[in-house]
Amino acid sequence: MIIDNDETLRKIIKLNLMKTIGCDVIEMTSAKEALDLMRILPELDLIICKDLIKAEKAEKAGLIVANYLKTESLKTPVLVIGNKDSDYPYVSSIPANAPWKDIVAKASDILAPGEEVPEFVPVSVHYFLNINTIITGCDIYIRVKKSESEFQYVKRLHAGDQFIREDIIKYQESGLREFYISKDNFTTFVNFVTAELIKKLADTSITGKERVTLSSDAYKITTERIQNIGIDEITIELVEESIASMNNLLKEQNSLVMFLKALYANDCSFAYAHTYLCCLILHKVINSFEWQSPQIKDKLTYIAYFHDISLTKQSLTEINSQEELDDSGLYTEDKNAVLNHALQSAAIVEKFSKIPNGVGAIIKEHHGTKSGIGFPETLSHSLLPLSMMFVVTESFVDEFLKIEGVPNSENLKEIFAKLQPRFSKSTYGQTLIAIQGMIQNKKK
């Protein structure tokens, strides 16, 4: 069980423990919640717990859990992140600022002391789309079932082998989702892929459809990298190049038409289309507001790029209302990811240093709540103007992308008829009128 109110850290630790020792992990956000469950489920192998949880009410979670186990005469080991100020004998600790890798290593050691961790980890096939060779030490395997419970790894790509994008697409088409790599080389490999992507993104000779695909690939790798590796220098560089790439696409001739062609030819993911179209429309819409400026346009690019950055699963970025969430059939964990994604994405943005001021504040409000949690029933008129503009733009883009095939003027009319009653006042109304004007101009 892991008790921490920091969702990102919880998820990283959970994912990595599952990956390295294959255990199940229950996530809890407070000691109170954890104790409620422990009363009915006392058999836990390990509890990882933050020493102090500063939610609405500060809670000395580590101490509460240790005291409970002591009173119940249980011997469950506890790993406190921070200070272990308890005399429960089965408690150990790790500094509050320890990197997640150390927390996972220590937890693995308690759970499976001295046990060899599985040697291979999966890498999604899409990591190979923009590289043409494998670096030394990073041989790539495929996993083959040996028996009901055993797998065998067969070397498929050797260091130095040359291949092209089409080769990888063939693997994808044959149903292969993941290659495998030795666990020790995972980070080296991902860094190599990222470096290659950065190089390609900076290559100005790549334009049009090819740049759309490249930007879409880079966007996916960025979201996954933030989750799996974190925000380091390489992540920052990748984001900067990705943003520059999005700006280059905006500057291309007939950028909308060109992008839509790429989209309808399936050359780009839904998640990237959603991000890019929000950006493009915001850049046009802002021209109708007298307070526009190049700085605001720059800010809008960052807002569009980062607004759903905490969602790694594409299907989650498609949800834009409580109703859609209720009907989604998602697991609670994914539902929570959707409900909190505005707040989470804003928190991720704050960790990047060179980002225009105020981007996080808008991202937090991008679904219309001031708290950054959930979907509001009625629209708030106290949001920042750019947030209101974003809410309308995103709703338009979502409706636009729901249409199968190329939208015709009838489809567009229906979209505006649907959005009009909801977005009729203040900046909401002005934005919708501006989008309508922009579309009519385009049609001409």
In the complex, the residues that contact Fe ion under the rule CB under 5 A are: 308
Fill in the DSSP letter of residue 115: P
Closest contact distance (angstroms) between CB of 398 and Fe ion is 8
Chain residue at closest Cβ approach to Fe ion:
308
Comparing CB distances to Fe ion, the nearer of 308 and 365 is 308
Closest contact distance (angstroms) between CB of 124 and Fe ion is 22
Comparing CB distances to Fe ion, the nearer of 51 and 308 is 308
Closest contact distance (angstroms) between CB of 327 and Fe ion is 17
Q: What six digits make up the tokens of 243? A: 């943003």
Closest contact distance (angstroms) between CB of 345 and Fe ion is 7
Residue 77: count other Cβ atoms within 10 Å of its Cβ.
Answer: 18
Answer left, alpha or beta for residue 26, where phi above 0 means left and psi between -120 and 50 means alpha.
Answer: beta
Comparing CB distances to Fe ion, the nearer of 217 and 308 is 308
Closest contact distance (angstroms) between CB of 363 and Fe ion is 8
**What is the three-class DSSP state of 99?**
coil
**What is the three-class DSSP state of 182?**
strand
Give the integer Cα–Cα distance in Å for 399 and 378.
19
Closest contact distance (angstroms) between CB of 271 and Fe ion is 8
Give the integer Cα–Cα distance in Å for 23 and 47.
13
What are the b/e assignments for 10-31, b being 16+ CB within 10 Å?
A: bbbbbebbebbbeeebebbbbb
Q: Which helix (H) or strand (E) holds 157?
A: strand 151-157
DSSP 393-407: HHHHHHHHHHSSSS-
Comparing CB distances to Fe ion, the nearer of 7 and 308 is 308
328 burial via Cβ count (<10 Å: 0-12, 13-18, 19+): middle
Comparing CB distances to Fe ion, the nearer of 308 and 399 is 308
Comparing CB distances to Fe ion, the nearer of 158 and 313 is 313
